[in-house]
Structure 1
Amino acid sequence: MTEYQLQLTARYRPEVLERILRVVRHRGFTVLALNGNNQGETFTLNLTVRSERALDLLKNQLLKLPDVIELSE
Structure 2
Amino acid sequence: MKHNLSIEVKQQSIALERFLRVTRHRGFNLTSMNIETSEEKYIVNMMVDSDRPIYLLTQQLKKLVEVNQVEILEQQSIAATS
With structure 2 as the length reference, what TM-score do the two structures score? 0.86
Could you report, residue by residue, the CA deviation over 1:1-32 in whole angstroms, capped at 9, with x for unpaired residues? x0000000011011011001000000000000
- Specify every segment of 5 or more residues in structure 1 that has no aligned partner in the other structure, as ranges: none
Match of 1:21 in 2: 20
With structure 1 as the length reference, what TM-score do the two structures score? 0.96
Match of 1:40 in 2: 39
Name the SS for the 2:39 alignment partner. Answer: coil
- The one-letter code sitting in structure 1 at the alignment partner of 2:46 is L
Alpha-carbon separation, structure 2, partners of 1:12 and 1:35? 14
Query: Runs of 4 or more off by more than 4 Å in structure 1?
Result: none
Within-5 A mapping of 1:1-73 = 2-73=1-72
Q: How many residues matched?
A: 72
- Specify every segment of 5 or more residues in structure 2 that has no aligned partner in the other structure, as ranges: 73-82
Deviation at 1:50, TM superposition (A): 0.2
Could you report, residue by residue, the CA deviation over 1:20-67 in whole angstroms, capped at 9, with x for unpaired residues? 100000000000000000111111000100001000000000000001
